[in-house]
Structure 1
Amino acid sequence: MLVMMTAMGLMLWGSLAQAGNPRYAGLVADAASGEVVYAEHAEAQRYPASLTKMMTLYLLFEAIEQGRLGLDDALPVSEHAAAMPASKLWLEPGDSILVREVIPALVVRSANDVAVVVAEALGGSETAFAQLMTARARAMGLGKTRFRNASGLPDAGQVTTARDMGTLAVALMRDFPSYYGEFSRTEFVFRGKRHRGHNRLLDQYAGADGLKTGFIRASGFNVATSAVRDGRRLIAVVMGGFTSRSRDAHMADLLDRGFARLGLRERSDWLADTDISGAIASLPPLAVDPHGSTMPALLASVAAEPAVSLTAGSTDPIRALMERNAQGDGGGTWALRVAEGSPR
């Protein structure tokens, strides 16, 4: 009876919690297989807010990996960039910021002025960069996503879905595993001032190790999260929260129930086969590279061979990288710290 009640709870967990919220969308997927274990309004278009910066960072990481930018390159600050509203670093026109400083500024501070600095450095203009972002989104399979700016500031034409943001989270982990640890930062120091982040789940949910929050009035409170428990990794997206606290509480509940669902999946009875996500396609799987080099790596292509599930006692490659960063062996410039972040 208890198991049956658990299964029924898994099937109902989202609709009851978010009834009456027209901005809500949610998705939870097993990272190893890509299987979606919960979805509600996951294909409905929503405003991404600062989840947009995940794509800005994707294109930045790509430029670094391709050698088009170096971590010590100084990027100029234009009047347009400096004029962006907060959250921001309050950069001045004619100023510059190093690429290695840009990354935590986008992840932790969600700095809109810095997002425009990156856009202009890589695209020539923010408008042109947004076109590059949309083109890359199409190439990734983010079919319902359109970008109009690099920051996520309000624009009626800038839309996405919970499923598309989950797919983007997978792409960041898969394509740039050496940078995923940046998404665990809760604070950083820039020119002597300490900046604290908005992602309180990193402090409050055991196993959460990234990604990004976002908020504008039109979107409500959004968050994309990845977490690990008992050798399993989930990727989850919540959009349209009424407050940052209710969003975080709902995300924690989704993750708890998602991990419970993965546990049930190992059973051999009808509960293991219960469909609770509806007709929604799987995300691209994260597969452990069996030919990995000394740096933990994920497969660059997921189409050639099936996902490899983590076995008991095996190492999650992203968790291993996180541990290296925490021990000062991840190549980062700033210390990884845990601190209370402002809600966002």
Structure 2
Amino acid sequence: MLTIALIRRGLLSLALIAGLAFTPASTPPVAQSGDNSRYAAIVVDAETGEVLFARNADARRYPASITKLMTLYLTFESLSKGDVKLTDTLTISIRAASEPPSKLGLAAGQTISLDNAMRATAVRSANDMAMAIAEHVGGSNDRFAARMTQKARELGMTQTVYVNPNGLPDSRQITSARDLSILARAIMRDYPQYYAYLGQHDWAYNGRDYRNTNGLLHTGNGYDGLKTGYINASGFNLAASAVRGDKRLITIVLGGRSTASRNAHVAALMDTGFELERARDRGQSIPITQAFFEQRGFGLSSSPAGEVQFASITSSGAAVPSNEANGDEGTAYAALARTPAPRPEPRTPARPATRSGQLPADLPADVTAILNGGRSPAATTTRTPAPRATPSRASGGWAVQVGAFRDETVARNWLTEVQRRFRTQFSSAERTVVDAEGWFRSRFTGMTEQSAQAACEALAARSVTCMVVRPQG
């Protein structure tokens, strides 16, 4: 009977996770799955905190393994206070040893130094070591998670709630791109002596070499941190920092389609941010930095809050892996692949939610409701579905597809923006939105093969993804 009860309890927990993840809402408690509404991004000047670019920056998202930044922040704090030492010996508990991959794989009862556990957490993104650290620093997962959430509030991270130290799936563990940029700045400001843990390229332990999951660290270009993350519900996340000249920028991207496309998107945002800083250094007045990014294809000023599958989120140089749980509109771009995508970060299976311990008293009511296993008030709001467009009549010839969106208005606005920026390439083309089972595909039609190929090359040169579509029939 006990076994049956446990199974039923697990199924109810999984149902709660599914309900929170897939219930439509005008302001969802977390990102919805199945489209690129998981996408969020922000670019911040690390020294001043100025936001240079933001897209869905305050929308709630799943942090995945970027959670470990807060785990390490609290560890840095404890080290600074003298509560723990780098030489402390951690004995792996049964719970820590049972955490799913990515993990270091020590058995219960084995030991590791706090220093090595921190390196395993930062470089390997080891879920078992993050749990071992939480138990050592905080006494238990529940007490440590409550401290994590309390610290988030102290730092001004208003959208963030933690229930575990490693980012394993839990529908109540939420954050935002802006909150993660606040945390990244706090680490640099408060504990610069420990920041190197987050930029270590490689780490050797027990005869094995581990390579950092953050591939940008190996590219040069000033990248020196911070942390990657992936679970099925979040997509591919990355909090990155880079220094060029006397400027440091922080870029957060959440909801990428693959490791390769996410990294390419972060790099493009970072390059644009440094371009903006150089323009300022030359005396150029840039009163609206968001416009500077939008002129280069990042964001849609006409619809800042729409659910957008960004044309630039999918790299034209990497295949898009299937999204096994949520449908796969992204595979429409797989034909653009030139080289195989790098091996993705380890994928973590979902598991039932677990209740956290004593909750901080100052948590907002909606956050407390989520932690207590309930619904955020926002989750009960029903969003009116976007009107379905009538498929446009084929005009014949070749076409160029520049994006696919969940909202027809956004799809049309994007066509207008692309034509504004690439008037020469699409001067004689027709703007067409094709409704394909709820995805609105933005296409320029009525083109010759030569003009379509040339237009796509011009867009790719400006980091705008496109796809040449052959005549039908």
State if a TM-score over 0.5 links the two structures. Answer: yes
Q: Is 2:132 the partner of 1:117?
A: yes
Residue number in structure 1 paired with 2:286: 272
Secondary structure, counterpart of 2:135 in structure 1: helix
Following TM superposition, by how much is the alpha carbon of 1:102 offset from its aligned partner in structure 2, in angstroms? 1.2
Q: Distance in 1 between matches of 2:64 and 2:245?
A: 32
Displacement of 1:181 = 1.3
5 Å-filtered alignment, 1:293-308, equals none
- Aligned equivalents of 1:140 and 1:231: distance in 2? 25
Match of 2:256 in 1: 241
- Which residue type is aligned with residue 242 of structure 1? R
- Asked if the contact 2:118/2:129 (under 8 Å) is kept, the reply is no
Residue 113 of structure 2: aligned partner: 98
Candidates 211, 217, 223, aligned match of 2:226 = 211
| Alignment partner, residue 303 of structure 1 | none
| Residues 252-273 of structure 1, C-alpha deviations (whole Å, 9 max, x = no match) | 000010111122334656x521
Q: What are structure 2's unaligned runs of at least 5 residues?
A: 1-34, 293-341, 346-473
Write the letter of the residue equivalent to 1:84.
E
1:153 matched to 2:168: yes
Q: What CA deviation, in whole Å up to 9, does each residue of 1:182-238 have, x standing for no partner?
A: 211122111222122211001125111111101001000000111111211101100
Residue 178 of structure 1 pairs with residue 193 of structure 2: yes
Q: Deviations over 1:123-177 (max 9, x none)?
A: 2211111011000100000011000100000000000000000010001111111
* Superimposed CA distance per residue, residues 81-112 of structure 1 (whole angstroms, 9 cap, x where no aligned partner): 00000000111111111011012101100100
Indicate the SS of the match to 1:128.
helix
1:342 Cα shift? 5.7
CA RMSD of superposed structures (Å): 1.6
2:177 — aligned with what?
162
Superposition pairs of residues 1-344 of structure 1, within 5 angstroms: 21-266=36-281, 271-276=285-290, 343-344=344-345
For 1:220 and 1:153, locate their aligned partners in 2 and report how far apart those are by CA, in whole Å.
13
Give per-residue Cα distances to partners, 1:299-318, cap 9 Å, x unaligned: xxxxxxxxxxxxxxxxxxxx
Superposed displacement of residue 274, structure 1: 2.4
Aligned counterparts of 2:69 and 2:127: Cα–Cα separation in 1? 13
Change (3 A) 1:252 1:205: farther
Give ranges in structure 1 of 5+ residues lacking alignment.
1-19, 279-340
Identity over aligned pairs, percent: 47
**Which protein shows a greater Rg?**
2
Q: How many residues align?
A: 262
CA distance, structure 2, for counterparts of residue 210 and residue 157 of structure 1: 26
Q: Is the 8 A contact 2:53 2:289 kept in 1?
A: no
Counterpart of 2:290, as a letter, is I
Residues 130 and 277 (structure 1 numbering): CA distance in 2 closer, same or farther, change over 3 Å?
farther
Q: Which moved more, 1:238-247 or 1:258-267?
A: 258-267
* Contact kept? 1:199, 1:343, Cα under 8 Å: no
State the Cα distance separating 1:277 from its structure 2 match. 7.2
User: TM-score, length-normalised on structure 1?
Assistant: 0.73
Name the structure, 1 or 2, with higher relative contact order (CA <8 Å, separation 6+). 1
Q: Tell me, what secondary structure is at the counterpart of 2:286?
A: helix
Structure 1 moving runs of 4+ over 2 Å: 263-269, 341-344
